[in-house]
Copies of this chain bind each other. A is one copy, B any other.
């Protein structure tokens, strides 16, 4: 049996919409974290980049003004809140590390208000209206797990969710739950034809991470149709309709809580070490990994006849 943390703890996911006002977004997040704590949450996770509209819809160097250091205003405000409420907060931050060096990060703020460390998004997307490679340097801290008052937890961020490697490495570090703060949605012109399959693929692959690793998976997305103001002289862009659908899957991939596509909600579920123990004893996937045969995973592609 694991000896760090509680046998059972409750996690809360804050599915929220975001506005163009970073202070208002922080105030809203504080309000929802307080509500989550009142409802029994011991670890609360916010959506990716919750202080902003999803600004990566366009490339604009002026937007680096939005970034802040870590520690900095967001981690100080939420660290104080964590201490006041006695809850762990999984806090996304647009991190300014140095001039010209920015990360899409998450700070783990423990229930005593102290930081237990930082995760920097490792896999960075770049697709139409998700121009993240312009803004974010890929993370250099690797895949991590953090000991908190509640238990040992891991976090990844959005695009990481498509990579079984990140989930596996975080689970191998002992995390009992993988958080995925997220900002994903539909392009309005794609929604009718592809929208259902996109959302289903997104849910399916993350449920797969829970199954492969015998861990809880907790995904928290934003809601709302966000249109950024166009650059001068350009037409108004179609924006992104963020699809919400935050969910929590148990260690066998069963969805135990799930949110709507379009409303602000708080999701609560219990992480139970005994359930992890039970699933992993009966479906002992970790036992049989062929670690002698996985070297090729550290290659880009196996077109060179390496064994």
Partner-B contacts on A (CB < 8 A): 122-125, 127, 138, 142-143, 159, 162-166, 168-169, 172-174, 197, 200-201, 204-205, 207-209, 211-212, 252-254, 282-286, 288-303, 307
Instruction: Please tell me if the beta carbons of B208 and A204 are within 8 angstroms of each other in the complex.
Output: yes
A169: nearest chain-B partner, CB-CB: B296
Q: A142-B307, A298-B297 are in contact. Are A164 and B286 (CB under 8 A)?
A: no
Instruction: Please tell me if the beta carbons of B299 and A172 are within 8 angstroms of each other in the complex.
Output: yes
A279: nearest chain-B partner, CB-CB: B201
- A201 and B165 CA atoms in complex are apart in Å by 19
- Cβ distance A153 to chain B, nearest Cβ, rounded Å: 15
Which of B123, B143, B295 is in CB contact (< 8 Å) with A288?
A: B123
Instruction: Please tell me if the beta carbons of A290 and B172 are within 8 angstroms of each other in the complex.
Output: no
Which of B159, B205, B294, B303 is in CB contact (< 8 Å) with A211?
A: B205
Q: What are 26 A-to-B residue pairs whose CB atoms are below 8 Å?
A: A122-B290, A123-B288, A125-B288, A138-B290, A162-B211, A162-B285, A163-B289, A164-B212, A165-B294, A165-B297, A166-B290, A169-B296, A169-B302, A173-B302, A173-B303, A174-B302, A174-B303, A197-B253, A201-B254, A204-B207, A205-B211, A205-B212, A208-B211, A208-B212, A292-B298, A294-B298
